[in-house]
Structure 1
């Protein structure tokens, strides 16, 4: 698969190793190499790689701090010698978490995971989008239940699972909210680290809160601009 990436790491040897692994084992293009977070920010303003390799322990701004400044659409593969950041890393658009020193075996496993991610998230054709736009199936116990998208009011992330809410019921889905967000399109919009809402089900928006039925849902600054851009299309 042909993908583009950049490598962000303050250690030249680590950058060189990743570049060699990419060139020898993939068809990916390394668009650039950045040795600190500020250089990376400037580079990303002019370039749009499919994903970034991002070191965590860097001067000025850490990889985690940099990730918090990037668009939530930026896909990240973290590279670090520290395992304790693994859980926190998945609050971002993280595809994988590589511990240094990166071995060939671990890189190849990451390569498969990265390419599988982009295969699963390729833009749908018009025909596919139309065919799959009004329902999906949810695994509940040993049963796959058909759910109409128009009936869903919102999704609420709760640690290791997501609560899907309709006027009639609430269903627990054992997936991350981020993964569900990646599969949905408007009228579903992420408005908070813990919420995705169906804009068709909104009763009102007031004081940075959304009201759906009896539920009050906060709008976070992180997602506010994207949410309001969708809502703006419906304001007279």
Structure 2
């Protein structure tokens, strides 16, 4: 698919990696790489792109501050080493949120998401923020393919060589790593522990660094707590 993009990032190594990934895995036209927000704004005065890869922690203006200044027709793929900005990022025209270091596998998943968006331009990007009521996956468990509504999933639990998918009525074993499944999911599914991805629409209580879904008590690890609580704080009275 022919799309134009630019990179806005103050880290040369990050720019170099994205440049290689774009050139080796897509047919997109990388029209510019800018190392701060002012340079990017200057370029965009006389040029346009379909979307930008935008770092968040930059000098002069942060990626979030720059996002407020970008034209609405320019979409954003945020790139950052920090999870805590993910919820805020969807206040803008965001297609995806890539955590550094960006792996090839995650970038390939982003390609699908970006190209799907531009092939379906009337789709609201904000649907990524949790409206999964009509979405489903076919889950391969053994020799069976089971159709599972995303809205019905309570949580995923990693168990060595496989993942346990739990709904109110059944449990299925999937022979994949939890990390691989995480790449295919979006909000309201959130990683809260090395062994758990939960559907935050299904949780009913948070207490003492644990959350409760149905009759399951699930730990929240330090690694994922900040991002998880950022999402939760938006819903606290």
CA gap 1:188/1:180 in 2 versus in 1, 3 angstroms: same
| 1:47/1:208 CA distance change after superposition, 3 Å | same
- Match status 1:177 vs 2:178: yes
State the partner residue of 2:109.
Answer: 117
Residue in 2 that maps onto 1:8: 13
- CA drift of 1:154 comes to 0.5
1:95 aligns with 2:104: yes
Contact map agreement 1:76 1:95 (CA 8 A) in 2: no
Contact 1:19–1:30 under 8 Å retained in 2? no
Q: Give the distance between the partners of 1:211 and 1:231, measured in 2 at CA.
A: 14
* Corresponding residue SS for 2:104: strand
CA contact (8 A) 2:133 2:150 kept: no
Hey, what's the Cα distance between the residues in 1 that align with 2:151 and 2:13?
42
1:64-213 correspondence to structure 2 within 5 Å: 70-72=81-83, 73-76=97-100, 94-95=103-104, 114=107, 116-122=108-114, 124=117, 125-126=123-124, 133-213=134-214
Gaps of 5+ in 2: 36-56, 65-75, 84-96, 118-122
Higher relative contact order (CA 8 A, sep 6+): 2
Q: Go from structure 1 to structure 2 and tell me whether the alpha carbon gap of 1:146 and 1:7 turns closer, same or farther (over 3 Å shift).
A: same
CA distance in 1 between counterparts of 2:232 and 2:111 reads 30
Aligned 8 A contact 2:109 2:183 in 1: no
Runs of 5+ consecutive residues of structure 1 not aligned to the other structure? 10-14, 33-40, 53-66, 78-92, 97-112
Deviation of residue 21 (structure 1)?
6.3
C-alpha contact 2:164 2:172 (8 A) present in aligned 1: yes
What's the TM-score once normalised by structure 2's chain length? 0.55
Mapped contact 2:82–2:99 kept (Cα < 8 A): no
Q: Distance in 2 between matches of 1:210 and 1:8?
A: 38
Residue of structure 2 equivalent to 1:218: 219
Q: Equivalent residue of 2:201, what SS?
A: helix
Q: Is contact 2:210-2:220 (8 Å) kept?
A: yes
Paired residues, number: 175
